[in-house]
């Protein structure tokens, strides 16, 4: 399964209570997103790197995902330095790059990476299913939890239908080229993909109705809070407060 | 419910998916208490469609449906009907959606109001009866076709329905697994059974009457089994 590549593992973070991880990820992301001073941002990136390292996930996939996100960040570097007014640092043709613009871009890069890495370490070390359950246990409204869970479930349906159709065209010798047959085949595939996924979703829903579904998301699974989870939660809470503290002490100065 | 009421009653049902081609026209059918009926008919005759009509998953353009003596016209009526009539879908992938097998099987009992512990116990008993207890914690959509089939049967049996509607339950099962499934269904104390199967072996093992769907209508099959 592509979206749960990291869910199984034996690190400390894999074993930690997902409720604690969800709470930590939420507050950590919130605080990091609000940081305005460079030392705090650097510290948060360091903390995220440590978290990521302690999750011991397959390095190749981790690097690929982070690289993917930084492609978007790079796009910001092409715009923000030249569009933010301030002291001019250098000229690129008719464009002027400002110090403030570069500073802003750097801040976005640091915070974005810190948040993504922390969420990877904290959230993708649990299966989607456990995350949905922990959200339900944390009293997130049931409608939202169901929306989250079924979005994920139907992404699978899409992926599944896609895989089957690709297999069907491959065994009949399809090789993508730049010709009209290829384009037409892809157009059929995309069209059919949505129709089939929609109909499959419809039948799954009907089958659920047959079993008396009335909108309740049942919780059979119960989490147990261990001492180490409490310790981890408190530790993360301390780190989050320390970050907020650095920021605050700078602001009141 | 009066004792003599039929379990399922269809009166003058018309149905079509699109306006041109009717699938069913003026269908009358009755499943009496104690009946074990095979439903035959070629591919595309409308057998699956008939099952979906009985449970209100699709709506007929004309005619009336009664399940367990209750006339079904609104969604609430069908909610009642689905508690008594269990449908095993033709494609098990349609039926399984939970992250683990045991949860999928417990889903129906939980919806019926059982407490978690009872529902789990019932799910486990059902898995055991079908000889697939070892699949308990597996992810349903990563099972083999035959395993999925058994789990989808378990999800229905766990609700202990009065009437079973089985849509080709042995398709894709090897002989020994099919035999075990037949044994489980034979010993299951249901009031009525309606079976779609292209395999004469399972039809003769589980049913004693046969109806055939052809030309958009249903009739008793004269060349009946046995
Ligand atoms: N969702 C749908 N939309 C449009 N037409 C459909 C749909 N489902 C089935 N049909 C058509 O309705 C007719 C009856 O289909 P149905 O699935 O009930 O047949 P069946 O008797 O169960 O066949 P099989 O033995 O192959 O399972 C077929 O001609 C089919 O093409
Ligand atoms: Mg069918």
Tens-place pLDDT, residues B190-208: 899 999 998 888 999 999 9
The closest-lying atom of ligand 1 relative to the alpha carbon of residue B168 is: 27
The minimum-distance atom of ligand 1 relative to the CA of B50 is 18
Ramachandran class of A228: left when φ > 0, alpha when ψ lies in -120 to 50, beta otherwise? alpha
Residues with CB under 6 A from ligand 1: B 17, 23, 41, 43-49, 90
Q: Tell me: pLDDT of A139 over 70.
A: yes
| pLDDT value, residue A188 | 82
Cβ contact B111–A127 (<8 Å): no
Q: pLDDT value at position B127? A: 95
Give me the residues paired with residue B167 across strands.
Answer: B196
User: Does some domain include residue A11?
Assistant: yes
User: Which listed ligand is nearest to B17 at the C-alpha?
Assistant: 1
DSSP state of A2: G
- Give residue B224's pLDDT band: very low, low, confident or very high (50, 70, 90): very low
Alpha-carbon distance B107 to B119, whole Å?
8
- Residue to mutate, B13, B14, B17, ligand 1, most ligand atoms under 8 Å from C-beta: B17
Q: Per-residue pLDDT tens for B144-178?
A: 888 999 999 999 999 999 999 999 999 888 998 89
Per mean pLDDT, which range of A18-27, A175-184, B25-34, B40-49 is the poorest? Answer: A175-184
| Range of A110-119, A188-197, B15-24, B106-115 with top mean pLDDT | A110-119
Do A153 and A109 belong together in one domain?
A: no
Range of the domain at A112: 2-126+225-252
Pairwise CA distance, residues A126 & A144, whole Å = 19
Query: In this model, does residue A1 exceed pLDDT 60?
Result: no
How many secondary structure helices (H) and strands (E) does chain A include? 9, 2
Residue B97 in domain: yes
B124 in reach of chain A (CB within 8 A): no
Residue B2 has pLDDT above 70, yes or no: no
> Facing residues of B180 across strands?
none
Considering every ligand atom shown, identify the ligand nearest to the alpha carbon of residue B43 and give its number: 1
- Output the CA angle A60-A62-A64, nearest 5 degrees: 70
Q: Does some domain include residue A56?
A: yes
Confirm if B202 and B178 have CB atoms less than 8 A apart. yes
Domain CATH code at residue B118? 3.40.50.300
CB-CB neighbours of B132 under 10 Å? 22
Same structural domain for residues A161 and A239? no
Q: Say what the pTM is.
A: 0.74
Q: CA angle, B82 as apex, B79 and B88 as ends, to 5°?
A: 145
Q: In the prediction, which pLDDT does A128 show? A: 81
Residue A26 shares a structural domain with residue A107? yes
Q: Is the pLDDT of residue B10 over 70?
A: yes
Residues A55 and A156 in one domain: no
Q: What is the largest CA-CA distance in chain A?
A: 71
Parent domain of B77: 8-220
| Average confidence score pLDDT of chain B | 89
- For residues A231 and A111, membership in a common domain is answered with yes
Contact B83 A212 (CB under 8 A): yes
The answer to whether residue A73 is domain-embedded is yes
Q: What is the pLDDT of residues A85-114, one digit of tens each?
A: 888 888 877 888 888 889 999 999 999 999
Q: B225 lies in a domain?
A: no
**A113 and A231: one domain?**
yes
B162 within domain boundaries = yes
The interface predicted TM-score of the complex, written ipTM, equals: 0.77
Q: Is residue A170 part of a domain?
A: yes
User: Which tokens hold the place of A35?
Assistant: 């940081």
Distance CA A191, CA A180 (A): 16
Which of A23-27, A148-152, A171-175, B212-216 is predicted with the least confidence, judged by mean pLDDT?
A171-175
As for how many domains chain B has, the answer is 1
Residues A185 and A83 in one domain: no
Instruction: Answer yes or no: is B1 within a domain.
Output: no
CA distances for A18 relative to A53, A86, A141, A234, B32, angstroms: 18, 45, 17, 15, 52
Compute the distance between CA of residue B46 and CA of residue B216 in angstroms, rounded to an integer: 7
Q: Tell me if A212 and B159 make a contact (CB, 8 A cut-off).
A: yes
Would A51 be classed as within a structural domain?
yes
| B148 in a structural domain | yes
Handedness of CA A164, A169, A175, A181 (dihedral sign): negative
Q: What is the pLDDT of residues B54-104, one digit of tens each?
A: 999 899 999 999 999 999 999 889 988 998 999 999 988 888 877 789 988
Note the pLDDT of residue A3: 61
Q: Are residues A10 and A100 in the same domain?
A: yes
- The whole-number pLDDT of residue B225 equals 44
Tell me, yes or no, whether A41 and A8 share the same domain: yes
Residue partners of A113: CB distance under 8 A and separation at least 6: A45, A48, A66, A69, A70, A73
User: What beta strand segments (E) does chain A contain?
Assistant: 88-92, 95-98
Highest mean pLDDT among A56-65, A149-158, A160-169: A56-65
Same domain, A33 and A107: yes
For chain A, what is the mean pLDDT? 86
A145 contact residues in B (CB cutoff 8 A): none
Which ligand is nearest to the Cα of residue B218, counting in written order? Answer: 1
Residue B226 lies in a domain: no
pLDDT at A180: 81
- Better-scored residue on pLDDT, A105 or A128: A105
Considering the domain architecture, whether residues A150 and A25 belong to the same structural domain is answered as no
Q: Which pLDDT score, from 0 to 100, does residue A170 have?
A: 72
Q: Is B140 on the interface with A (CB under 8 A)?
A: no
**Closest partner residue to A210 among B55, B97, B141, by Cβ?**
B55
R_g (Cα) of chain B, nearest Å: 17
| A230 and A152 share one domain | no
Structural domain count, chain A: 2
Mutate to test the interface with A, among B58, B99, B121, B123 (most CBs of A within 10 A): B99
The reply to whether A71 falls in a domain is yes
Give the 3-state secondary structure of residue A98: strand
User: Quick check: is A219 in a domain?
Assistant: no
């Amino acid at each position: 399964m592509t979206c749960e590549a990291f869910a199984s593992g034996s690190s400390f973070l894999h074993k930690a209570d997902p409720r604690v991880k969800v709470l930590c990820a939420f507050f950590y992301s919130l605080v990091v997103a609000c940081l305005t001073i460079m030392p705090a941002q650097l510290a948060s990136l360091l903390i995220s790197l440590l978290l990521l390292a302690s999750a011991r996930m397959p390095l190749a996939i981790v690097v690929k995902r982070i690289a993917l996100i930084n492609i978007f960040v790079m796009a910001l570097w092409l715009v923000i330095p030249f569009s933010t007014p301030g002291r001019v640092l250098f000229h690129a043709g008719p464009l002027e790059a400002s110090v403030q613009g570069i500073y802003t871009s750097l801040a976005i890069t640091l915070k974005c990476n810190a948040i993504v890495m922390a969420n990877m370490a904290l959230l993708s070390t649990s299966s989607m299913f456990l995350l949905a359950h922990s959200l339900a246990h944390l009293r997130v409204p049931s409608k939202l939890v169901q929306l989250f869970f079924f979005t994920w479930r139907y992404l699978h349906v899409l992926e599944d239908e896609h895989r089957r159709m690709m297999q069907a065209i491959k065994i009949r010798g399809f090789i993508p080229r730049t010709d009209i047959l290829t384009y037409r085949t892809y157009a059929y595939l995309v069209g059919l993909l949505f129709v089939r996924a929609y109909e499959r979703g419809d039948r799954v829903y009907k089958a659920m109705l047959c079993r008396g579904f009335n909108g309740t998301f049942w919780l059979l699974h119960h989490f147990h809070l261990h001492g180490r989870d409490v310790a981890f939660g408190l530790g993360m809470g301390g780190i989050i407060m320390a970050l907020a503290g650095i920021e605050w002490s700078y602001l009141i100065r | 419910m009066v004792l003599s009421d039929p379990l399922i009653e269809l009166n003058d049902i018309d149905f079509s998916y699109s306006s041109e081609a009717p699938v069913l026209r003026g269908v009358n059918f009755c499943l009496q208490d104690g009946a074990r009926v095979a439903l035959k008919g070629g591919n595309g005759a409308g057998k699956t469609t008939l099952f979906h009509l009985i449970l209100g998953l699709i709506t007929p353009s004309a005619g009336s449906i009664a399940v367990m003596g209750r006339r079904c016209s609104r969604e609430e009526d069908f909610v009642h009907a689905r508690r008594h009539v269990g449908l095993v879908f033709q494609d098990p992938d349609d039926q399984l959606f939970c992250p683990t097998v045991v949860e999928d099987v417990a889903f129906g009992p939980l919806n019926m109001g059982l407490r978690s512990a009872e529902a789990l116990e019932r799910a486990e008993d059902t898995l055991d009866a079908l000889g697939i207890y070892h699949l308990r914690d597996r992810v349903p959509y990563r099972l083999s076709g035959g395993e999925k089939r058994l789990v989808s049967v378990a999800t229905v049996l766990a609700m202990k329905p009065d009437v079973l509607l089985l849509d080709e339950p042995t398709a894709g099962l090897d002989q020994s697994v099919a035999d075990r499934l037949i044994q489980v269904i034979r010993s299951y104390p249901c009031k009525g059974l309606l079976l779609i199967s292209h395999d004469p072996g399972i039809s003769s093992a589980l049913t004693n009457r046969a109806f055939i769907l052809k030309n958009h209508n249903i009739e008793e099959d004269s060349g009946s089994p046995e």
